[in-house]
Each structure stands twice: as C-alpha cells, then as structure tokens.
Amino acid sequence: MGKQRIDIEYPLTTKSPNIIWEQISSAHGFERWMADHVTEENGIFTFTWGEPWTQQDVRKAHLIEYVKYDHIRLKWDYEDEANEDTYWEMRIGKSDLTHHLNLFITDFAEDDDVDGLKILWESNLDRLHRASGL
C-alpha cells in the first residue's frame, strides 16, 4: 500500500515570518506546541511525548532541507528508507487571495491513516495557536 500526500493550509495571524519561523524550526519552538520535550543535535530532532515518570513515545526526525524563513523538511526515522519521497514539511507562504501569511504543511500517510493524521495536525495547529497566538 502506498502513501498518500496530505496538504494542509493554516492561516496565520502574524505578518512576520520571523515569529512563526522560530516556532516551526527549532527544538524550543517545537516543544511549545508539538511535543512535551524536543532536542536537536546535528540535524536530528528527538521528539518525546509523555513525562519521564510515565510511558513515553520517542521519535526521531532527520532534517533533510532547511531554508530560513521559508520551509523546513524532516523525515521520521521509522519511515521506509526505500521511499525517499515521504517527508513532512512546514512552509511559510503568502495567500494569493488575502496576502496574509499561511503555514503550509505537507505530510504522507497510508490510505487508512489519512483522517487520523489530519486530525493530529489540526490538534497540533490548535496548540500552536494557543501557545503563540499565531
């Protein structure tokens, strides 16, 4: 079964790409909205959900592309290395219609996981909004 590409567009309330960039490209930023604990070392981000005294879920993502104030692209460790086309990306862009900044998210999921992944991203984006007001 192949992976299906998912594209999500999220409108931002800021006009400054600098503000959103910190939230989507650094361990500190990710820790505010995406995971309980995030570290980065040599282009490898380690995301941890849960506290040390409870059961934890730990995932690693490799940085595969980074263009400051434009986009960041990562690949989860557990993904099939034979499928080089799968990744997750967050890109800052302007809406052609409103000229406001948007966050464009690209991710990939198996056909039966698409709805769950969309719900996960919506939840993450809601936390991003609550944590930063974006």
**Gyration radius (Cα) of the chain, Å:** 15
Mean pLDDT of 116-123: 94
The 10s digit of each residue's pLDDT in 70-109 is 999 999 987 555 566 789 999 999 887 777 899 999 999 9
- Measured in degrees and rounded to the nearest 5, phi and psi for residue 24 equal -110, 0
pLDDT > 90? residue 19: no
Looking at every residue in the chain, the average pLDDT score rounds to 90
**What's the rounded Cα separation, in Å, for the pair 18 and 37?**
22
Residue 124 contacts residue 24 (beta carbons within 8 Å):
no
**Whole-model pTM?**
0.88
The 10s digit of each residue's pLDDT in 21-39 is 999 999 999 999 999 999 9
**What's the rounded Cα separation, in Å, for the pair 55 and 52?**
7
Q: Please work out, in degrees rounded to the nearest 5, the angle formed at the alpha carbon of residue 105 by the alpha carbons of 41 and 26.
A: 25
Residue type, 68: K
